Amino acid sequence: MNSAEPPDPSPRQRRARYLVSMLAVLLATILLVLSTCSPRRSVLDEVQATGVLRVATVNSPTTYYLGAAGEPTGFEYDLVKGLADQLKVRLEIVVTTTPPEALALVKTARVHFAAAGIGVSPGRAASLRFTKPLLQVVPVLVYRKGTPRPKNLGDLSGHLLVVKDSTHTERLRELQARYPDLKWDETGDEEPEELLYKVANGDLDYTIAYSDLVAINQRYYPELRVAFTIAEAQDIAWAFPRQRDDSLMQVADGYLQALGGAELARLRDRYFGHINQVDTHGALTLATHVDTRLPKYRSLFETAANQYGLDWRLLAAIGYQESHWDPAAVSPTGVLGIMQITAATAAFLKIPDRTDPAQSIWGGARYIAQLAAQLPAEITDPDRTWMALAAYNMGLGHLYDARKLTDEQGGDPNRWLDVRNSLPLLTQSKWHTKTKHGYARGHQAVIYVGNVRTYYDMLVWITGSPAQALPQEVPPDTEVPAPPDNPLNIRSPVL
């Protein structure tokens, strides 16, 4: 039996079907347009929406590390934290082994950017964007003291190991045209500091590292030596992915621009301003004296520092700068003892025997605490500590003169870097004649503070116990008379 043919749709039904199909096409078109043309959320919007800024870095004294008290610190960390605070978001630090690993996280969008001592190079610029430079460093070839110093890359006679995918490997490949026999190995498992440690211990012949990192490590490993530079000064900057929009990078650049050169210089000084104060011989001598001399007096430094709310390593660093921890030290001007206290200061501090180690160390602790307490409250650490050290060396009156000159020249009298730059003016008659306390060896005070800072850093590294800042006020059980303008007199430290 044949089935009946379906009747043809009426004109009205055909129109209805046509309208439905047209509406479906129109709706699909609208949805397609909305899905393809609606604005995608920018990286900056993403950060603000999630409330998190995720940054890759490395553990290094030039970038990020945990301080003696367990708090995060470091040159680039301070800058990144400032950016996060400006954006009012939480900073999340992702620590990698090497800078190239940090860049890999940037390229795969697992972090927003890298702040890891990243060197800017043409090879990296193809896949990354960079902010304005934070500082400049020089890549250098490092070898060990006691081994032949190579004159150039063609003169190497041992194993050269560098971090894989670093700017150093880029440069080495460029230089192979000049030195066809040049060979090296690359490691992706070891950071630059580990390679420097291997060279210092004689486990590796050569490595290449940035000059700032080498200078810091030379204080701890005096056997490290720089043979030559392998390239001109190189910019260090933050690295952003090129495949994403630059909204966050523009904010970062604006933040760095707003900081200005002066603020960046102050921050650089905080972390790097003193690293070249003590040469490798001085660092090696300190390491020796830590074993042979410090054990006799460490408990005295600890007890005195604890009484006055100080870090004992800072007190020990002052004593080392003054006398190399020699209780019998005598300066040409008659200053005596471990802390090199003058007769006038001994009378002021009621110290009957300046050559007695306990009395000398106690007197030095009390005096540095008093100096710190008498500085204006608006001077905060670490500037407060460095200014107290300058006053310990040259007298509080001269420090106040330098602060006044700093203010008159448009600097910040509460910032050590600005005051440090003014201290040498106290040797010039056209400046010191305008001050209350007159001439002073400002250059000497600058060197003094730099040396103490270096010795302190080295003692923190050697001992590894928590640090403690100078007190903002003297402990309540301590009577503080006004000190004389220059109680320790102007004298060269006994070294």
pLDDT in tens, 56-96: 998 887 888 876 455 788 899 999 999 999 999 999 999 89
The H or E element that residue 235 is part of is strand 234-236
DSSP secondary structure, 62-75, as one string: TTBEE-TTS-EE-H
| Measured CA distances, 398 to 129, 322, 379, 491 (Å) | 48, 19, 17, 14
Q: Which residues of the chain have pLDDT under 70?
A: 1-26, 28-39, 67-70, 273-281, 332-334, 465-495
Closest CA to 372 of 305, 458, 463: 305
pLDDT tens for each residue of 311-334: 999 999 999 999 999 998 887 556
Q: What is the pLDDT of residue 360?
A: 94
pTM > 0.75: yes or no: no
- Six-digit token pair at 78? 């301070």
**Contact of 399 with 420, CB cutoff 8 Å:** no
Peptide bond into 7 cis (omega under 30): no
Q: Which residues are known catalytic residues? A: 322
Residue 65's DSSP bridge partners are 73
DSSP 3-state helix, strand, coil percentages of the chain (rounded to 5)?
Answer: 50, 15, 40
Could you say which DSSP state residue 146 is in?
T
Confidence (pLDDT) at 225: 93
